[in-house]
Amino acid sequence: MHRVATIAAIVHQHAEDAAFLWFRRRREIDGPILDETDIGRIDQRLEANLEGLMAAGKAGWEAAQARFTDYAEPSELFVLGVLALRWGDSGAIAAAIDGAAVLGDAGLSSLSAAIACTPRESLRPLVAKWLDTRDVVQCCLGLSALWHHRVDPGPRLPALANHSDARIRSRAVRLAGAIKRRDLLPSVLAALDGETPKERLTAALAACLLGETRSPQPLIDKIVASQPELAQAAIEIRLLTMPTKAGKGWLQKHLDQPALRSVATASVGLFGDRAVMPWLIEKMREPDLVAAAGAALRDLFEVDFGDTSLFVVDPALLGEDFAHLDDTSLPVADRVETWWDEGRGGRNHRPFRSMRLLRLNALRAALAAADTPLADWRVTRRFPAWI
C-alpha cells in the first residue's frame, strides 16, 4: 500500500460511490428486473471507483476505513474487503475480517462478495490458510472463495461438510452440491437435520443437485408451511425437481391456503405455461396478489418489461385500493390484458433474460444432468464506456 498525492474529496467520493453501487448490485443481482448487460454497466462503474481507490493507495484505504467507521454497513465492508484482498496486505485483510465478525452473517456475505470480485491468483495464497484455520469466519471465507470460483478442495471437503460449526458445514454442503461431489451425499443428507431452517434448506438443494430429490421433499414441505421468509426459495426447489403435472397439483394446494396464496401465485411462472395468463391477469386486479402476479409474469416471458408500459412504479396509479402498497414495480392488469390479447405477448421485443431467469436456467441445467456443475449465472457483460 503506497502513498501518493491525491485530492481528498475525490478519493472520498470514490469510497461513497463504490459502496452505493455495490448496494444496488446486491439488490438486483438475482432479481427479475435487470439482465447481465444492465448489471455489467453497474459493474463497470463500480470497478472504476474501486480502481480509483486502489490508485490512491494509502489515502484510498483510509477513505474506505473512514466510511466504515461512520457507517458500519455491509456495503462499506465490501469496499474494504476488495481493497484488502487485491492489495494482499495482511494487516488490511485482518481489519476487513474483524469488520465481518462485527457484522455477523451480513459481514460474511459482504466479504464473500469481495472475494467474488478478486482474481484467483490474489486469493490462492489465502484460501488454504483460511481452510486450515480454527477461526470460523476465515474458514467460511475460504469456502466462499471455492464457491465463487467453483474449485474443488479435494480431500479437505468431507471434514468441512461434517464440521461442528453450522456456518462452515452449510457452506461446505452448498459447495458439494454445486460441484457435484456425489461422494458427499451422506453428509449432505445428514445436514437435512441441521440446526437452522436455512441450513436445512441449503442441504435440500444440495441433495437435489446430487440427484437425490425424494429425501428432501418432506423437509421442503415443512419449510414452506412454517418459514414464511424461506417459503419462496423452498417452493422454487420443489417445483424445479418435480414433473410438471405433479408440480401443478402440489402448487394448487398452496394457492388455496390464505397464508401462502401470494408466494404460490408468484411461483406459477416457473412452469413456463402461458395458458395461465388469463388467470394471472385477474390476480393483477387484487391488491394482495398484484405484486406476486407481476413476478410470475416476468418468469413467463423473456421480455424487458422496462421497455413497455405494462408496469408502474407508483401503486396509486392502479387505484385507491392499491395506494397503500410499497412495491415499486406493479403490473397494470388492463394493459397486460391488451398486450396479451393483441399478440400473446413477447413479440417485437429483443430477447431478454433477467438475472433471475439466468439463475433458474442454471439450476435447471444442473438438476437435469448428474455431471453438470451449477454454473456461475452471475457472469455479466461489459462494454466500452462510450457505448
For the stretch 277-300, pLDDT in tens is 999 999 999 999 999 999 999 999
* pLDDT in the model for residue 5: 44
134-167 residue pLDDT tens: 999 999 999 999 999 999 999 999 999 999 999 9
Does residue 385 carry a pLDDT above 60?
A: no
pLDDT above 90: percentage of residues in the chain: 89
Do 184 and 379 touch, CB atoms closer than 8 A?
no
163-218 residue pLDDT tens: 999 999 999 999 999 999 999 999 999 999 999 999 999 999 999 999 999 999 99
For residues 50-64, give the mean pLDDT. Answer: 95
φ, ψ dihedrals at 354, nearest 5° = -65, 165
* pLDDT in the model for residue 386: 46
* pLDDT in the model for residue 2: 57
For residues 336-360, give the mean pLDDT. Answer: 87
pLDDT above 70: percentage of residues in the chain: 96
Distance CA 19, CA 2 (A): 22
Nine-digit cell at 367? 438438476
Mean residue pLDDT across the chain: 93
The pLDDT confidence band at residue 7, using thresholds 50, 70 and 90, is confident
If one counts every other C-beta atom within 10 angstroms of the C-beta of residue 79, the result is: 31
Nine-digit cell at 129? 490458510
* pLDDT in the model for residue 351: 86
Task: Look at residues 344, 306, 332 and name the one whose alpha carbon lies nearest to residue 35.
Answer: 306
